[in-house]
Every structure is written in C-alpha cells, then in structure tokens.
Amino acid sequence: MELPLKNMQGATVGSIEVSDVVFDTPLNTAVIHQVMVGQLANKRAGTHSTKTRAEVSGGGRKPWRQKGTGRARHGSTRSPQWRHGGVTFGPKPRDYSQRTPKKMRRLAIRSLLSQKVRDGEVTVVEDFRLPEPKTREVLQALQGLEISSKCLVVNEAVTQKELWQACHNLKRVKSVPASTLNTVDLLNYTHLVLSVAAVRRIEELWAQETPRRAMLVSNDAAEADMDEAEAGEEQSS
C-alpha cells in the first residue's frame, strides 16, 4: 500500500510504498488489551509494604483486665481495630511482572499501526529534522503538518537525542526511536508522525516473524532414518 509523503512544511511531495504486513493488519483488540496490561504491570515496582499486628512495635501488655470493667475485651493495642494498630490483609512486596509472548507483542504493534493508517492518524515526512533542538521548532513543525492532537514522533535513533530534548517539555508530544515503539505509547497518543527512515526500520523489525531454528538431528538418528527410507524403497520395488 502507499501513503502520502510530506515535507516539514506540510506540503505533499509524493508517496511512499509501505508493507501491507505492518500497515494493513486487521485490528485485534483482545491481543492489544493483553499486551497493554502486561506492559503496564511490568512497570510496577511492587515495593509497597504494610505492617501486620505482629510487626507493629508495642502492644505487648494487655490494655485492661479481661472482665469486670464493662468494656470489650482486648489483648493488645496493636490489633487492627486500634489506632496505630496493624493492617489486615495489607499489601506486601510482590512481583507484578507478566510474560507476554513475542508474537503477541508484535501483532499488537502491527494492529495499532494499521488501525491508525485506516483512521488517517499517520503522517509520513521525508525527514523530521529541526534547525536546532528547540521546543518552538517542534511546535512550528507540527503546526505546519496541521497536527493539534496528542502526537508521537518516531524517528531514527541517530537524531533521537536532539529530538527528545526539543519534545520533552511538551505534555502532548513525545519522541521515541523506531526500535522502542510500543503498544502503550501507540494507545496514549492519537497521531503518529513517522520519518521515512523510521518506516523502514519498523518494517525491518516487525514485517516478518522470526523463523524457528531448525531442529538438530544427531548423526545416529539421521543414519537410522536413511536406513528406513532405503528399506522402504526396496520393499516397494
């Protein structure tokens, strides 16, 4: 398929041929949701911790005698119903990480890229280069491209540092290299700006599935297979 190609001033200068495998894939919402949940879960530190009644200091003495006071019986001032007491079933340090298969992550990225193309939310530019790494230069470039929504700028890794410096002060604009494109960023940002180099890098990374390694067969097993094949040929003749 072909996408219109623009320059930094917003004028259409031609078209670019892109891979149908990456930019024309059916939307798979179930896979996208699972990959998003896994990515957000992997960002959690899991270091939260509360103290139970056994871990709170104090409370070793019985506050009053068991009977005869007219009050409810208590054995410690550190039980959960007391102020400064322990926490019942509170959070403890744990690992929130989830393992998401690589094929699912790749499919989620291809599905989101394809849906953005169908929705007209992808702009391909010749080269997203700025005269100087300034925030005002990014604003002028996006204004020329007629982009006013939340924008994700994807460029080659060579110029990524200068582009990040120009974008990081803007709340609605983010810049990432093509190799770190991910599902959460594609969901959080409405419009996608791609340079030609970024398109080619994306196709290189996600256009083809990684082939499986050929299973190694020992010499003895290979010889046994050859003997069986020869025996079968002799019987058929």
pLDDT band at 96 (very low <50, low <70, confident <90, very high): very high
Are 25 and 111 in contact, with CB atoms under 8 Å apart?
yes
Looking at the DSSP bridge assignments, the partners of residue 173 are 151
Give CA–CA dist 30/25, Å, rounded. 14
Q: Which of 129, 54, 110 is nearest to 86 (CA)?
A: 54
pLDDT at 156: 80
Query: What is the residue-averaged pLDDT of the chain?
Result: 88
The arithmetic mean of pLDDT across residues 113-127, rounded, is 93
Residue 52 has pLDDT above 60, yes or no: yes
Residue ranges covered by each domain of the chain: 2-27+100-206, 45-95
Helix (H) or strand (E) holding 13: strand 12-17
Angle at 197 between CA 192 and CA 205, to 5 degrees: 80
Contact between 147 and 167 under an 8 Å Cβ cutoff? The reply is no
pLDDT at 60 over 70: yes
Expressed in percent and rounded to 5, the helix, strand and coil fractions of the chain are 40, 15, 50
Number of neighbours of residue 87 by Cβ within 10 angstroms: 15
The predicted pLDDT at position 129 comes to 84
Give the mean model confidence (pLDDT) for residues 75-98: 94
Cα separation, 64 vs 73, whole angstroms? 8
pLDDT score at 104: 94
Of 180, 108, 120, 176, the C-alpha closest to 145 is: 120
The mean per-residue pLDDT over the stretch 172-193 comes to 93
Q: For strand 2-6 and strand 12-17, is the pairing parallel, antiparallel, or unpaired?
A: antiparallel
Say yes or no to pLDDT of 222 above 90.
Answer: no
- Please report the pLDDT score of residue 64 as a whole number: 95
How confident is the model over 104-114, as a mean pLDDT? 95
pLDDT at position 229 is 58
Which residue's entry shows tokens 């990225």?
Answer: 109
pTM, 2 dp? 0.77
pLDDT for res 42: 95
Question: Is domain 2-27+100-206 in CATH 3.40.1370.10, yes or no?
Answer: yes
Amino acid residing at 145: L
Which residue would you say has higher pLDDT here, 83 or 163?
83
